[in-house]
Structure 1
């Protein structure tokens, strides 16, 4: 009985350690995109053997940290009501998305340096799909331009968010202005040019 009871206890300890390590990775990488495995182990209060037992490489741990932040961000974006006027929804998504990008900027920088570009893109697929679907609905409703494919516009908005985050990080832009700017730029990208009104949607 004692041996049987010890196994769930060890599994619980392992889960607890893994959770501490991921939280520590988010914190360390959030302060410094080049944080080392030793930095993260110290932050988590675990030894190197425990750290590497859960995450065999820095790349694996960086990916776990990014996945954690994206999951937390997705919870925030899920709360945005997508049923209203697409222009109002886009503004809300961009403003919320900006806050999430700002919080995750350093971790994303670490991920871009450590992971293959296609993997980072894969991890962003869900939030980008949400924006794509909204843009497509706006095109069908006749409130967004239809001469440019929705996936291309969604990609442009993604780059706007990250570009603004970079400008804030380097001090070129006041962070209090960022939410307004990203929303205005997103709406400008999707707005129907006067000369394009009535054109068929791009496929």
Structure 2
């Protein structure tokens, strides 16, 4: 009889901690365990009872954020012209990135590379399929490995998030900057790089 309420309390504590950590880390990637525990309304002992260390907590926050992000990105229309589809995907992904603010920066500072890669498995596969279709339809270059192009897009996206955090790039400019950079990289040698604004109306 006494275990059910405790389990429910534990679940509520975990959700409160994850919510608080998401908010704190989105605002400040260096937010401390004390900051997060205070925002969650729990003590350090309670927090450490659920998460072994700060890196583990950041990993759990990223895992939940990625699941929520995937739920919204699955609805992006990737049919039609691959270049236009890429712009739509980048713009939708950027809105997700903005929602979580500096969490991207916190994750890069705290999580092992292998864990970061694992968290991005589904998004990478979505982009991989689009890149391979674009190559098959002669819209994207074929002289560089898809794996390298994937790494480039991941790096450019995270660089844009970091630039927004330090004030080098305005929030509203992020998606266009990523799309323009990637279209410049992906366009076959000798072909004209398409304009991002023009592609927004293409299906």
Which residue does 1:156 correspond to in 2? 152
Question: CA RMSD, aligned part only?
Answer: 1.7
Q: 1:16 aligns with which of 7, 12, 15?
A: 12
Which residue does 1:88 correspond to in 2? 84
Q: Tell me whether 1:186 sits opposite 2:182 in the alignment.
A: yes
CA contact (8 A) 2:27 2:101 kept: no
CA distance in 1 between partners of 2:80 and 2:175 (Å): 20
Per-residue deviation, 1:105: 4.5
Alignment of 1:98-137 (within 5 A): 98-137=94-133
Which residue does 1:166 correspond to in 2? 162
Per-residue deviation, 1:181: 2.1
Question: TM-score scaled by structure 2?
Answer: 0.86
Q: Which runs of 5+ in 1 are unaligned?
A: 196-203
Over residues 22-67 of structure 1, what are the superposed CA-to-partner deviations in whole Å (9 max), with x where a residue is unaligned? 1111111111111111111111111222211111211111111111
Deviates more, 1:149-158 or 1:18-27: 149-158
Which residue does 1:201 correspond to in 2? none
Per-residue deviation, 1:157: 1.1
Equivalent residue pairs, number: 191
Q: Tell me whether 1:147 sits opposite 2:143 in the alignment.
A: yes
CA distance in 1 between partners of 2:163 and 2:54 (Å): 27
Q: Tell me whether 1:61 sits opposite 2:78 in the alignment.
A: no
